Amino acid sequence: MDKRKVGLSDTFKENTAPKSFAKNKINGTKYTIAISSAKGGVGKSTFATNIALALKATGSKVGLLDADIYGPSLPKMMSINKKPESKDGKSLIPIEQYGIECMSIGFLVDEETPMIWRGPMVTSAIKTFTEKVLWNNLDFIIVDMPPGTGDTQLTFAQHIKVDGIIIISTPQEIALQDVKRGIKMFDKLKVPIIGLVDNMSFFESDDGKKHKIFGEGGVEKTAKDYNKKFLGKIPINIDLRAAADLGKPLFEKNKNHKISKIFEELAKEIKESFL
């Protein structure tokens, strides 16, 4: 019997192997942590700004990169209303606010100007923000990701060494469906997931009653089902929302607030797992 195996030639295998991408750190930073959720409107930006400030409070140097090209929130949430400078016409100097280095497409255009852009333009903006910004020796850069599983997510997963993703979701079924898609995407693209946060868990009225507006327990169960860490719950809180609307994140405004304490704990946990 002929023992030769029928198979593909090495050259053919090489030519058809999945492309592997060179993943680089974002220049001037040690660790990249992305705040994600395939779903919009679950509180990613509020989470991103507060966790950045809480990480800073642990003594780390922190930056915030707003990767949501279609819906930048950073300028408003961090009260930044000026354009970044460039010394050579190529690179951009991040803008410091509340001790955090910040960058957003919203710094470059008028607040109400829509970015009516097709995907390749978005990819190009993300590349500029990860390659041409002069981040200054940061321990952590927190990336506020847009909703979806498209160009921005792909660009990060293929070109940037993302050290961990924190996935935010409300507990409602319809949001969790998107979260499951998000988990599958990052697993497929081999980006490590730090864990899942249950945001807008419940609303507590003055009488102390907890209203489970968006349902209950779904995020923790999803974490278990997908073998990911459950990082905890953050209730719906008017102070948290109002602080974001007023341009000073709650953690900056009052770090003794009970919601700020949740961010403080999480930040410590994140710091310990990296530094």
Angle between helical axes of 173-188 and 218-225 (0-180°, round to 10): 30
**Does residue number 235 form part of the binding site for a copy of itself (CB under 8 A)?**
no
Q: Give whole-number Cα distances, 125 to 40, 105, 129, in Å.
A: 20, 8, 6
Among 181, 224, 258, 261, binds a copy of itself (CB under 8 A): 181
**What one-character DSSP code corresponds to residue 59?**
T
Question: Is 50 an interacting residue with respect to a copy of itself (CB under 8 A)?
Answer: no
DSSP class of residue 62? E
Q: Cβ distance 178 to 214 under 8 Å? A: no
Decide: is 28 part of the binding site for a copy of itself (CB under 8 A).
no
Closest approach of a copy of itself to the CB of residue 220, in Å:
16
Nearer to a copy of itself, 62 or 244 (CB): 244
CA-to-CA distance for 78 and 102, rounded, in angstroms? Answer: 9
Q: How far is the CB of 15 from a copy of itself (least distance, A)?
A: 22
Q: Which residue type is seen at 49?
A: T
Q: Is residue 252 within 8 Å of residue 99, measured between CB atoms?
A: no
3-class SS letters over 246-271:
HCCCHHHHCCCCHHHHHHHHHHHHHH
60, 104, 149, 260: residue in contact with a copy of itself (rule CB under 8 A): 149
Burial of 220 (C-beta count, 10 Å sphere; 0-12/13-18/19+)? middle
Of 5-13, 16-24, 166-174, 255-263, the segment contacting a copy of itself by CB under 8 A is 166-174
Least CB distance from residue 83 to a copy of itself, whole Å?
18
Q: Does 125 bind a copy of itself (CB under 8 A)?
A: no
d(CA 204, CA 44): 21
Candidate residues 101, 178, 252, 264; the one interacting with a copy of itself per rule CB under 8 A: 178
d(CA 130, CA 201): 33
Which residue among 211, 221, 258, 261 contacts a copy of itself (CB under 8 A)? Answer: 211
- The H helix count followed by the E strand count for the chain is 10, 9
State the binding string over 60-89 for a copy of itself (x if CB under 8 A, else -). Answer: ----------xx-x--xx------------
* Smallest separation (angstroms) from a copy of itself to the CB of 86: 25
Can you tell me which of 25, 28, 30, 40 binds a copy of itself, judged by CB under 8 A? 40
CB of 121 to a copy of itself, least distance (A): 9
Question: What distance in Å separates the CA atoms of residue 207 and residue 20, rounded to the nearest whole number?
Answer: 56
Query: Does 214 participate in binding a copy of itself (rule CB under 8 A)?
Result: yes
182 is an interface residue for a copy of itself by CB under 8 A: yes
Residues making contact with a copy of itself (CB under 8 A)? 38-42, 45, 70-71, 73, 76-77, 111-120, 122-123, 146-151, 153-154, 170, 172-175, 177-178, 180-182, 184-185, 188-189, 203, 205-207, 209, 211-215, 236, 238, 241-242, 244-245
